[in-house]
Amino acid sequence: MTPAPELISRLFSRHSIRTRLLLWTVGLSSLVLAVVIGWNYQAMLHQLDADAQRRAAFIAEASADKIDTELGGICGLAHGIAYAVESQALGIAFEPLRTLMQKALLAYPQIYGIAIVLLPALKPTTWPDTAPYVYRGADGLNYANLTGKYRNYTGEDWFYLPRYLDQGTWSEPYRGSTGVMMVTYSAPIRLPHEDGAQFAGVVAIDIELGWLDQALAELPIGRHGYSLLMSHQGTYISHPIRSLILNESIFSIAEARGDPALRAIGQRMISGKPGLVPWENWATDEPSWLAWHPLETIGWTMGTVVPKAELYAEIRRFTQQETLVGLLGLALLVAAVWLVARSITRPVRALNAAATTLAAGDLDAALPAPRGHDEVAELTAAFASMRDHLRRYIADLAVTTAARERMNGELRIAHDIQMDLVPKTFPAFPERDDLDLFAVMEPAREVGGDFYDFFMLDADRLVIAIGDVSGKGVPAALFMAVTRSFLRSAFRVDDDPGRALTRVNDDLAESNEACMFVTLFCAVVSLSDGWVAYANAGHNPPLIVTPGGHAWIGKPFGPAAGALSGSFYASGGFQLFPESMLLLYTDGVTEAMNPVNQLYGNERLAERLETYHTLDCRDCLDALLVDIRVHADGTEQSDDITMLTLKRITPGTDREPDLTLDIVSRTDDLNAALDQVEALLEERDSAPRLVYAVRLVMEELLTNTIKYGYDDAALHRIRVAFTLGSPATLRIEDDGHPFDPTAQVPDVALDAPVAERPIGGLGLNMVRSQTASLTYRRDAGINRLDIVF
Amino acid sequence: MFLSRGASRVFLGILLTLLVPLTHAKESAEPLRTVRLALQWQPQSQFAGIYMAREQGIYRAYGLDVVLVHGNAERSALDRLQAGEVELATSVLSDALVAATAWPDATESESSGSGSALAQIAQLVQQSNLMLVAWKDMGVERPEDLDGMRVSVWPSIIFDAFFAARQVTPLLIPQYASINLFLKRGVAACAAMEYNEYHRILQAGVDPGRLTTFAMRDQNLGFPEDGLYATSRWVAQHPTIARAVREATLAGWIYARDHPEEAITVALREAQRAGVPANRPHERWMLSHLLNAIFVPGAPLVRAGILDPDAFSRTAQALFAAGRLTRIPSLTAFAPLEPP
């Protein structure tokens, strides 16, 4: 389930700011309004309820007091007459008494009649009647003797009660002969007696209660309220339900309803203490308040019923007005919020549109003008400022980009120069099968000054060169081009590498105002015999790898070319045998860095080349490049990586030999064979040096085999296969003792004096000097020696 | 009840069926016989059976046109009977007995001294409802507590007998129609009928817990009450009419018993017509108590209307002992209509 806050935020975030502002404002304001109205309603309800209770109680009390006052006066009148009679000890004359009664009747309009009733035995002799009664008739005051109507009047409440209660007494209300409800107050007449006061009779005043209903109806108890009056016994004296009057008491109703709570309320009401209870209007079932107050004089209870609904109506009216005002305020609030929201969202929307236009690349789109000094205005201003900055930045960027384009153009030119200058077509000499040559140059990001070159000086000699110009870029590239030109032209004049370098150095230094220089290694390789003449102007020593190991071509070594004219460069030389590999390289190889700034190094280069040298040149360089990249491990290449490998190939192994001779191990046969070979060579117009060399080699090696190769005296067959070509090759196969002529004498010993040479090695040394390479293999009891001239 | 309500209806039906041919003959032969009946008191359901006999046309079915005359404090029903204003009257048994021997007519009818000036037509209320009600908070818990207290009573030998038996001497005050003196606490105790005054006290908001009551029937002073009477002479002259009155009145009471709310409504209407305050709960209370006293639970229905000889004897003896009777009339003279 989604948590509520998230839900709300999701709900609201979907809408626009204006909608959200409106929703929140209206929602919260409505909530506050509802709470305030509800609270007011409750508070008012409470207040008005309390007021209603007070009003009900107040009306009850005030009415009770009013009725009390009315009736109290009558009580006083009754007692006054009684005192008058008493004071004269019944000696009062009848007529004045009757006049008194008539006057009282005239003075008190609510009195219906006044009677002075004595015990029969106490009737004064002067009185004509025992119970004179003056009362109102249709046409004035009437007179009667009550004994005519009430033979047993002593048993009537109006006589009986004051007699035995010995005090003025109110009768229970009753309906008089006129049909009007009446009540009688009787004051006892007491005569002094030796045993204390003695009851003599009563002054009874009948009061019509018609005015009570009138008075109660005039009470301000609201339209649906009413008042009631009940006797001391709970009997209704006044009630809007007329049938209850005098017939029912609150107790009879409680009994009829089986409502003990009502009976309890009735008991409280007639208890003589004021009170108030929630009530239900019997006529309308409305919830109401019933308050009551005792009438002290008469012992009755005055009650008022004030319906709550009337209060509620008042509250409802007020609440409706309040709600109306609140809603009006809410509407105003909504309008205000809407305006404010619009003042925010309009510029924001304009900004949004402008931003979209900007994003599309139109920096000249019109922006909304900032108005005022609020946040939106600030935002608009900031947006304009951003646009201006953006515009400037883009202008700057265009300039910078142009500059960089230009620079990149230069770099590309330099790169093109560099790449154009080095020969890139491989195999370099497809018509020749006696060499394998391959070169690579991987320029760094900015153009360096590496270059390599190779070209045939004549049919047999190959010039190879590698160099590294100081500096970078176009000047370096140009310097390189110049160097290459000078180098090529120098070799046309003189084929000695040392002298060529000397000349190049002087030529370069002559017009080198930029003081640039170049390290340069060049060599002239005689492909026929494998002799390599070389010179080095400050370049990394090349590496040569043979099946037996590796060697650095260290000396001679001269200073870098181009810096200083007049430098002398000596030439060196060495024999490059077939199966050996020569590697020229620049410092970009050995100084390739890895992420922790370790150099690739000479040792690793030598070790790797020993492993790879049996491959052909292209594969070997590819393997080396891979290894260098592995070493660099993503580190950016800082310098050009340039490498050139050269390998001599012994041709003829695949060719059908021009001459194959099977000879026996005799010197005569040897000589005959030599003659046959010599004849072939001459027939083919071979170089005299080759004829000499072939004869010397065959003579030396075959003599050696015949002399030392066998233990027995038997004749053994020796096969000699000669192939003419460039170069010429010779294969000798015999089944004599294993003998490896290549292992006998290291060629470095050549420079040693003759006296120091090992005994028996002279012949072999001669052989070596005349051959380009010797390759020995023992195979199934056969010695096989391949000789390249 | 001996008979169920259904059975009693059947009984009533049989009664009417038996009597209808007779009445029919009378109706066709001569007009209704008008008789005047004085009731002891103002309209209330004490007389519900009589109202119903009239309302339901039972009296008419018996050939009777009964005119009811309600009594008041001024003149009792027996006064009216004695004065010849009415032919019939209701009365409690004790008052009737006193009148039966006190009225001069008695000597005329019988020479033996067992004669009766009054003849009972029916004994309706078999059980006593008379009681004394006292304020508990004025210290009345037992009959003895009434000694020296102000007690209002109707003149009655029953209360005298009660006080005598308990050996108490209250300060007696005559009681009339109202109980207001009691309610205003002018007396510690007052006389009451259980079906009327006692309930009025309750209806004045006084809870039974505040009252101590002494029912006379519990004090071995329970005498039959309301009965229907005429002068012996009238009964002797009109035995058929007397019997018809008896049967019709009983039938009216049976009807009231079976239709109590209807009876109460009629009683209320009578009260309203007479301008007497009345309310339904009070009338209901009254009727139920009276019905229990007329149709005594456990007694056979046929006993209704019959004067129990023992009760007659006890009542007469008590009155005689109290000096209210100088002689005791014979049951046959007093109640000539009783079946033998």
Q: Give the model confidence (pLDDT) of A193-206 as tens digits.
A: 887 888 999 999 99
Q: Within 10 A of A462 (CB to CB), how many other CB atoms are there?
A: 23
Task: State the pLDDT at residue B50.
Answer: 95
Domain boundary among B219, B249, B264: B219
Q: Model confidence at A749, in pLDDT bands (50, 70, 90)? A: very low
Task: State the pLDDT at residue B214.
Answer: 96
Q: Which two tokens stand for residue A293?
A: 């107050």
Instruction: Please name the member of A157, A246, A248 whose beta carbon is closest to the beta carbon of B180.
Output: A157
* Nearest chain B residue (CA) to A148: B74
pLDDT digits (tens, 9 = 90+) for B158-215: 898 899 889 999 999 999 888 999 999 999 999 999 999 999 999 999 999 999 999 9
B57 interfacial to chain A (CB closer than 8 Å)? no
Asked if A249 lies within 8 A of B203 by C-beta distance, the reply is: yes
Shared-domain flag, residues B105 and B12? yes
Interface test with B, best of A166, A241, A255 (most B CBs within 10 A): A255
Domain boundary among B219, B250, B269: B219
Task: Tell which wins on pLDDT, A253 or A509.
Answer: A253
Which residues of B fall within a CB distance of 8 Å from A155?
Answer: 73, 174, 176-177
Residue A565 clears pLDDT 70, i.e. is over it: yes
Q: How many structural domains are present in chain B?
A: 2
pLDDT digits (tens, 9 = 90+) for B35-72: 999 999 889 999 999 999 999 999 999 999 999 999 87
Asked if A234 lies within 8 A of B278 by C-beta distance, the reply is: no
Shared-domain flag, residues B116 and B54? yes
Shared-domain flag, residues B231 and B114? yes
- Rounded Cα gap, residues B124 and B295, in angstroms: 9
Is residue B245 a contact partner of residue B90, using CB atoms and an 8 Å limit?
no
Shared-domain flag, residues B87 and B51? yes
Domains of chain A from N-terminus onward: 75-308 (3.30.450.20), 422-648 (3.60.40.10), 659-788 (3.30.565.10)
Task: Name the burial class of residue A323, with classes exposed (0-12), middle (13-18) and buried (19+) by CB atoms within 10 angstroms of its CB.
Answer: middle
B209, part of any domain: yes
Shared-domain flag, residues B22 and B53? yes
Asked if B180 lies within 8 A of A161 by C-beta distance, the reply is: yes
Between the alpha carbon of residue A775 and those of residues A525, A732, B25, the distances in Å are: 20, 10, 178
Which residues of A fall within a CB distance of 8 Å from B186?
Answer: 161, 164-165
Q: How far is B88 from chain A (nearest CA, A)?
A: 23
Residue A736: closest CA among A772, A777, A783, A669: A783
Shared-domain flag, residues B209 and B230? no
Task: State the pLDDT at residue A9.
Answer: 62
Domain boundary among B180, B198, B219: B219
A152 interfacial to chain B (CB closer than 8 Å)? yes
Q: Which residue has the tokens 């070389």?
A: A534
Task: State the pLDDT at residue B46.
Answer: 94
A270 interfacial to chain B (CB closer than 8 Å)? yes
- Rounded Cα gap, residues A401 and A411, in angstroms: 15
Shared-domain flag, residues B75 and B91? yes
What does the radius of gyration of chain A's CA atoms come to, in whole angstroms?
74
Which residues of B fall within a CB distance of 8 Å from A171?
Answer: 180
Which residues of A fall within a CB distance of 8 Å from B174?
Answer: 155
B171, part of any domain: yes
- Rounded Cα gap, residues A354 and A368, in angstroms: 8
Residue A29 clears pLDDT 60, i.e. is over it: yes
Q: Which two tokens stand for residue A444?
A: 């760094």
Q: How far is A177 from chain B (nearest CA, A)?
A: 9
Is residue A730 a contact partner of residue A723, using CB atoms and an 8 Å limit?
yes
Phi, psi of A656 (to 5 degrees): -70, 125
Interface test with B, best of A146, A249, A270, A273 (most B CBs within 10 A): A249
Chain B, residues 60-99, CB within 8 A of chain A, namely: 73-75
Average pLDDT rounded to a whole number, residues A270-275: 88
Instruction: Please name the member of B177, B204, B279 whose beta carbon is closest to the beta carbon of A247.
Output: B279
Which residues of B fall within a CB distance of 8 Å from A235?
Answer: 204, 277
- Which of A3-12, A50-59, A430-439, A747-756 has the weakest average pLDDT? A747-756
Instruction: Please name the member of A150, A179, A234 whose beta carbon is closest to the beta carbon of B204.
Output: A234
Asked if A160 lies within 8 A of B178 by C-beta distance, the reply is: yes
Query: Containing domain of residue B203, as a range?
Result: 130-219
Shared-domain flag, residues B229 and B165? no
pLDDT digits (tens, 9 = 90+) for A227-262: 888 998 999 988 888 888 888 999 999 999 999 999
* DSSP one-letter string for B169-237: --EEEE--S--HHHHTTSSSEEEEETTTHHHHHHHTT--GGGEEEEEGGGGT-----EEEEEEHHHHHH
Residues 6+ apart with CB under 8 A from B261: B284
Asked if A165 lies within 8 A of B176 by C-beta distance, the reply is: no
Task: State the pLDDT at residue B340.
Answer: 59
B339, part of any domain: no
Average pLDDT rounded to a whole number, residues B72-84: 85
B272, part of any domain: yes
Q: Within 10 A of B22 (CB to CB), how many other CB atoms are there?
A: 14
Instruction: Please name the member of B176, B207, B278 whose beta carbon is closest to the beta carbon of A247.
Output: B278
Query: Which range in A57-66, A625-634, A662-671, B225-234 is most confidently predicted, on average pLDDT?
Result: B225-234
Which residues of B fall within a CB distance of 8 Å from A232?
Answer: 183-184, 204
- Which of A89-103, A253-267, A726-740 has the weakest average pLDDT? A726-740
- Three state DSSP letters for A536-576: EECCCCCEEEECCEEEECCCCCECCECCCCCCCCCCEEEEC
Residue A479: closest CA among A439, A514, A444, A440: A514
Which residues of A fall within a CB distance of 8 Å from B180?
Answer: 157, 161, 171-172
* DSSP one-letter string for A94-142: HHHHHHHHHHHHHH-TTEEEEEEEE-GGG--TT-S-SSEEEEEETTEEE
pLDDT digits (tens, 9 = 90+) for A395-405: 888 888 888 88
Beta A169-170 vs A111-118: how paired, if at all? unpaired
Task: State the pLDDT at residue B22.
Answer: 47
Asked if A165 lies within 8 A of B181 by C-beta distance, the reply is: yes
Shared-domain flag, residues B265 and B193? no
Q: Model confidence at A717, in pLDDT bands (50, 70, 90)? A: confident
Task: State the pLDDT at residue A755.
Answer: 46
Q: Within 10 A of A424 (CB to CB), how many other CB atoms are there?
A: 11
Shared-domain flag, residues B249 and B208? no
Task: State the pLDDT at residue B39.
Answer: 94
Task: Tell which wins on pLDDT, A747 or B55.
Answer: B55
Task: Tell which wins on pLDDT, A556 or B235.
Answer: B235
pLDDT digits (tens, 9 = 90+) for B257-278: 999 999 999 999 999 888 888 9
pLDDT digits (tens, 9 = 90+) for A345-373: 887 888 888 778 877 877 777 777 777 77
Task: State the pLDDT at residue A11.
Answer: 58
Instruction: Please name the member of B173, B203, B277 whose beta carbon is closest to the beta carbon of A164.
Output: B173
pLDDT digits (tens, 9 = 90+) for A142-180: 998 888 777 788 888 899 999 999 999 988 888 877 778
Average pLDDT rounded to a whole number, residues A766-773: 81
What region, left, alpha or beta, does residue B156 occupy, with left being phi > 0 and alpha being psi -120 to 50 degrees? beta
B61, part of any domain: yes
pLDDT digits (tens, 9 = 90+) for A590-605: 888 888 888 888 888 8
- Rounded Cα gap, residues A304 and A308, in angstroms: 12
pLDDT digits (tens, 9 = 90+) for A695-707: 888 888 888 888 8
Between the alpha carbon of residue A508 and those of residues A414, A451, A522, A566, A714, the distances in Å are: 19, 16, 16, 11, 69
Chain A, residues 13-32, CB within 8 A of chain B, namely: none
Average pLDDT rounded to a whole number, residues A547-562: 82
This complex has an ipTM of 0.84
Task: State the pLDDT at residue A279.
Answer: 86
* Nearest chain B residue (CA) to A253: B281
Which residues of A fall within a CB distance of 8 Å from B75?
Answer: 151
Q: Which two tokens stand for residue A722?
A: 């000669």
Shared-domain flag, residues B177 and B251? no
- Rounded Cα gap, residues A160 and B30, in angstroms: 50
For chain A, give the mean pLDDT.
82
Task: Tell which wins on pLDDT, A577 or A746.
Answer: A577
Task: State the pLDDT at residue A13.
Answer: 60
Asked if B203 lies within 8 A of A247 by C-beta distance, the reply is: no
Interface test with A, best of B153, B180, B261 (most A CBs within 10 A): B180
- Rounded Cα gap, residues B255 and B259, in angstroms: 6
B340, part of any domain: no
Q: Model confidence at A10, in pLDDT bands (50, 70, 90)? A: low
Residue A1 clears pLDDT 80, i.e. is over it: no
- Rounded Cα gap, residues B214 and B216, in angstroms: 6
A256 interfacial to chain B (CB closer than 8 Å)? yes
* Nearest chain B residue (CA) to A270: B205
Asked if B275 lies within 8 A of A175 by C-beta distance, the reply is: yes
B212, part of any domain: yes
pLDDT digits (tens, 9 = 90+) for B275-315: 888 999 999 999 999 999 999 888 777 778 889 999 999 99
Asked if B181 lies within 8 A of A160 by C-beta distance, the reply is: yes
Asked if B73 lies within 8 A of A156 by C-beta distance, the reply is: yes
Average pLDDT rounded to a whole number, residues B122-141: 94
B147, part of any domain: yes
Task: State the pLDDT at residue A267.
Answer: 93
pLDDT digits (tens, 9 = 90+) for A306-336: 877 776 777 888 888 988 998 999 899 889 8
Which residues of A fall within a CB distance of 8 Å from B73?
Answer: 152, 155-156
Instruction: Please name the member of A150, A169, A248 whose beta carbon is closest to the beta carbon of B279.
Output: A248
- CA-CA-CA-CA torsion sign (A22, A25, A31, A32): negative
Check which CATH number belongs to the domain holding B48 and give it: 3.40.190.10
Encoded amino acid at A627, one letter: D
B174 interfacial to chain A (CB closer than 8 Å)? yes
Shared-domain flag, residues B118 and B243? yes
Asked if B277 lies within 8 A of A247 by C-beta distance, the reply is: yes
